[in-house]
Structure 1
C-alpha cells in the first residue's frame, strides 16, 4: 500500500462519457451532483473529457456547471477501449490529484474504473445511488448491499482519490447555462495506438434499449408467470420500454438490463406501469421518482398500491390487453383520415 497525504488532493472530478457524437446522460447527472459536492467542499468542479473531437463536449460540460474541463483529445480514444482510457485517466489522476472522482456506472465506467483505482491505490465504491460529504469533506458513498436487502454508506479516509461509479438515473440534471464561463485545458495524451493491446475489429449494438432514458415504462414481475406478451403488447401501444422486477429477471423471463430496482436500474419516467409486481422495497427504490405510477395486481393488498397514483385490481392478462386496445382505439380516432 502506498501512503498518500489527503491534503495534497483537491477538487471534484466528473468523467464525461462520450461515444461518437453522443454523451451519456449520466455524465450530466453527475455534473449536477458534483456541483453540489464541490460547493459543499469549497472546491472546483472539474469535467474530464476523453475522446475524439470533443471540444464541444467540453464546452457543454462548462455550461452544465463545471469550473474547468480537462480534455484528452485523440483518435486513439474512439471507439472506446478500456486500456487507453484507463491509462490516460490514471495519468491525469497522478498529475492533478483530484480528491473525488465520479464515473457513471455504465458498461464503460465499470469497465475502466478499476484500471484507475488499483494502480493509484484509490478507494473505489461501485454502483452508488446516493452521494454526500461529511463535516471533514470525506465522500459518503451509499450503495445497495446484501443483494439489495440493505444499504451501506462507505467512506475512504486514507486513500485518494475517493472514487465512485454511480448508477444512471438517480440524480436530476440541472438546467445548463450556455453563457457560463470556465477554463478548458487540453492535456497531454500519454497513450499511443502502437502501445494499445486491444483492437476493435467489429462492433454491433444489442437490441436492449436503455430503460433509464424512457418516458414511459411498462414493467412486469412475478405475476407474469413467464409470459411477458401482455406487458410487451401494452408497451407497444404506448410506445414504451419494457422493464421487469428482479423476480422476473432471476427466473430468466427477461434480460437483466431491463431490471428495475436496487440491484437493477433506476428509472424516472413520466409514466410507470407496474403489472404483477408486489412492490418490494428493493423494486420501489428503482422507480419511486416516476411522475405517475399505475399498478395492476390481482391482490388488492399488494404493497405496490400504497405507492401508486392509480391502481387496478385485476388479472394483468385481462387488464393489459384491454388497456392496449383502448389506447390503440384512441390513437386511431386522433389520426386524421
Structure 2
C-alpha cells in the first residue's frame, strides 16, 4: 500500500489541513498576486502556515502549488518556473513535516489549469495532459506523497489530470467543487464524480469535494457520493461556514464549534479524510482535530439534519433546471477560474 493508504488503515480517518489563500492574505499576500511565488519569495511564511496546521493536528498538509501549472503561471510571467516552484513547495512542506515525531503526509496540490478545454475554449486535451504532467513531475521529484487534484469542475480536465498521473507511482486524489445548485460549474453532480472513477486512466484512491459555497452544501455532496459509492474513500474539505461579502472582504462565518460539528457530520456521512478550505484557520482545525479524536459514531445524517445543525444550503439544487437540462441533453455551463482557500 501507499503511505497514504497505510496511514488511513492505521487511523481510520485522517485530518487534512485548512485554507491556503485566505490565510496567506492575512499574512500579507495581495489579491491578484500568485501565492506560488511565495515558495521562493516568502518561504518562511509558507512554512509558518504549514507549521500552524501541523501543530493543530493535521495528518495531511497540501503544498502551496494549487496554481503552479504553466497556464496559471504565465499570468505572472513565471511559466518557465513550473518545476522549480513545485519542487520548492514540496520542500517547504517536507521541512515542516519533519519537525514532529508522527507521520504527516504531503499532498501535492494541483488545481485547474484556468483554461477552458476545447470545444468551449482553446486548450486541447493533449495540452491539458502535458500541463498536468509537467506540474506532477515537479511535485514527485520534490518528494510529495500524494497527487492531490482539487477544486475541479470539468470532466475533461479531471480526465486529463488522471491521464497525467498514470505516469507516476503515487496515489491520486480527485476532489470537485459542487458550488452551483448542487453541481460543479460545468454541470457534474456528486454521484457523477463517483461514476467517473472507472473512466479515469489512473483510478483515484480517494474522491470527494472541497471548497464550494458552504459546509452544508459540501456535506450534501458527500452524502450523495457515499450513498452511491459506500466503498469509496471520500474526502470532505469544506469552506469555513458560509461566505459573506462585507465591504471589500469575503468573510467566512464558521466558528470552531461549527467546524467541529461539521467534522462529526462528515464522519457519520462516511467521509474518511476531513479538512477545511476557504476561511479555515489553525484554530478551526484544532477544533476539528478534537472532534475527530473524540468522535462516537452516530447515525448517517439526513440533509434536513445537516441544515438544522450546520446551516442552510447556500446554493440548493435546482430541480426544474436539472429536468430541463436532461430533456435538452445539456450538462454544461460556463466556468470560472477560482482559487482554493
- Please state which structure has a larger fraction of its residues in helix: 2
The answer to whether TM tops 0.5 is no
Ranked by relative contact order (alpha carbons within 8 Å, sequence separation 6 or more), the top structure is 2
- State the TM-score, normalized to the length of structure 2: 0.28
- State the TM-score, normalized to the length of structure 1: 0.28
